Amino acid sequence: MSLLAVGISHQTAPVALLEQFAMTRDDAVKALHELVGSDHVSEALVLATCNRVEVFAEVDRFHGGVAEVSRVLARQAGAGVEELSPYVTVHYEDQAVAHLFTVAAGLDSMVVGETQVLGQLRAAYALAQEEGTVGRALHPVAQHALRVGKRVHSETGIDRAGASLVTVSLDHAEQRVGPLAGRPALVVGAGSMGALAATTLSRRGALVTVASRSPESAARLAAAVDGGTAELADLQQAIADADVVVTCTGAAGLVVGTDAVAGGMAARAGRPLAVVDLALPRDVDPGVAALPGVHLVDLALLQGERSAAGGADPVAADDVSAAHALIEAETALLRAEQQAAAVAPTVSALRSQAAEVVEAELLRLSSRLPDLDARARSEIARTVRRVVDKLLHEPTVRVKELAGTPGGVDYADALRALFGLGIDTDVPADGGRLAEAVTVDPDDLHPGGAA
């Protein structure tokens, strides 16, 4: 079995295409079960955020796994696999592990160093656990990724770049309407992104109002930031009252239309309005950007700015290097742990076989020397066991050490052959080694690219 990562992200696809992949919780659950119900995928985790949809899967065949995951992604987007092939990327084994660690650390985000993706990965892992689609292969990888993400944020300085898309988007808004302290702000949506937006606005001194399809959720979030609430039915008036509108719902269609914003602007006496759309699919009609006095900040704008800057980010190169070095070390550590686990059954079988031989010989000694007193019998037993333990100590320690080296699991194969250990250790066909690279046929999309 092998780890495979197949996905599409802001690195390779325009926001318009990413919108087609937007997933609700029910969509993610359906995808998880469709994946593990296929022929070549045994475990799966789906990470769906505002700028990526990626599947991390344990597969028994590389090409078959890529094809099956690609079909599920294409179905979600309502497109054909061939249409998506220029944008989909594939990572395999070590590359897949390192990629997941990079994503968890916020190094592959639209804003490098953002922390929200770590929470999104945690939620994706929890959903996969709840649905029973992760097992002994993906559990340690996902847990390790969460640990790596925490370490990168606590041990490097990448957080200095800005915590999230919310921070960067509000910086844009302030450039248009001025400092937010004391200004009215409207947050449409009371989910995790809405909560982050409301909290960030509150910290900047804005007077926050929350509107949501769930009045109870809106009330809870508003209370947390000492703000107020508004009804979605009164959206035009709420827009008229606000200087900044941040939308981030999970709706499938538009929530903020051009008419509502135009009506709100008519009551603003020429005051400028910043509208920040962080939803995928988008909440705000793109036509809003053409209204006089309205400045629209959305994912497409942020993606375009990042591309124009050549992917440059305001993070110190030393911090990024330190984060990548940590990821490389953690990837190697996970590989060593997996390879050590692969030889554990061999070590256990060898010790069990030795114990059986010792017990059989001691029983044989008892039958040959029935008059041997108990004290002598006990001393002989301890001596025999010590001799066997010492003889086995070096080979068992060395095979564990060598398991972390290239070809290390081959030593376990040799040990099984030498001692006649007829056990099934469930070692992968590649000997438990994680591939450093993979050659992919053209039909298998794009291996190893940034996703």
Q: Does residue 202 have a known ligand-binding role? A: no
For residues 204 and 276, give the distance between their C-alpha atoms in angstroms, rounded to a whole number. Answer: 16
For residues 97 and 339, give the distance between their C-alpha atoms in angstroms, rounded to a whole number. Answer: 14
Q: Does residue 76 have a known ligand-binding role? A: no
Q: Does residue 194 have a known ligand-binding role? A: yes
Beta-carbon contacts of 366 under 8 Å, excluding residues fewer than 6 positions away, are: 372, 377
Classify 174 in phi/psi space as left (phi over 0), alpha (psi -120 to 50) or beta: alpha
Q: Does residue 51 have a known ligand-binding role? A: yes
Which among 3, 4, 5, 50 is annotated as catalytic?
Answer: 50
Q: Does residue 49 have a known ligand-binding role? A: yes
For residues 220 and 216, give the distance between their C-alpha atoms in angstroms, rounded to a whole number. Answer: 6
For residues 68 and 50, give the distance between their C-alpha atoms in angstroms, rounded to a whole number. Answer: 23
Q: Does residue 192 have a known ligand-binding role? A: yes
Q: Which of 222, 181, 248 is nearest to 22 (CA)?
A: 248
Q: Does residue 407 have a known ligand-binding role? A: no
Q: Does residue 248 have a known ligand-binding role? A: no
261 CB neighbour count, 10 Å cutoff: 26
Q: Does residue 38 have a known ligand-binding role? A: no
Q: Does residue 228 have a known ligand-binding role? A: no
Rounded to a whole number of angstroms, the distance between the first and last alpha carbons of the chain is: 23
Q: Which two tokens stand for residue 151?
A: 């370490």
**Is 248 a catalytic site residue?**
no
Q: Does residue 109 have a known ligand-binding role? A: yes
Q: The sheet that has 273-277: what strands, in order across it?
A: 228-230, 207-211, 184-188, 244-247, 273-277, 294-298
Q: Does residue 189 have a known ligand-binding role? A: yes
Binding residues for substrate are: 49-52, 109, 114-116, 120
Binding residues are: 49-52, 109, 114-116, 120, 189-194
Binding residues for NADP(+) are: 189-194
Catalytic residues: 50
